[in-house]
Amino acid sequence: MVNPSKKFIGAETLKSYNPSTEHRRKERDAEKKKNKAERKVTREQALLKKNPVAIKEELDKLEALGKENCAAAESVVFRLLLSFCSFGD
């Protein structure tokens, strides 16, 4: 049963009706944004730690296939070249 002393507040206004709840929500959103940036940096560092020698060997092997006019191999080589170039940055 609905409390007659309280007026119905729409779902949109109920979310921001309580100032303390609004403040906590903003803090939580800011923390999520910060954590997202930290996870992105961690992922990029993990990619840098992968063995570039093995990637280079695979790249050379696929380039040899690309010379045989294999379109699929050329697209894979291109993607690997893009990922390999990011190791130097």
pLDDT at 71: 63
Contact partners, residue 87, CB within 8 Å, separation at least 6: 47, 48, 52, 55
d(CA 26, CA 35): 14
| 52-67 helix and 71-85 helix, angle to the nearest 10 degrees | 150
Contact yes or no for 84/59 (Cβ under 8 A): yes
pLDDT at 54: 73
Break the chain into its structural domains and give their ranges.
11-49, 51-89
pLDDT at 18: 85
Lowest mean pLDDT, pick from 6-15, 58-67, 70-79: 6-15
Residue with tokens 């010379």: 67
Q: What is the pLDDT of residues 5-53, one digit of tens each?
A: 555 555 555 555 788 999 999 999 999 999 998 999 898 888 777 777 7
Q: What mean pLDDT do residues 47-76 have?
A: 73
pLDDT at 15: 55
Of 64, 68, 69, 40, the residue nearest 80 (C-alpha): 64
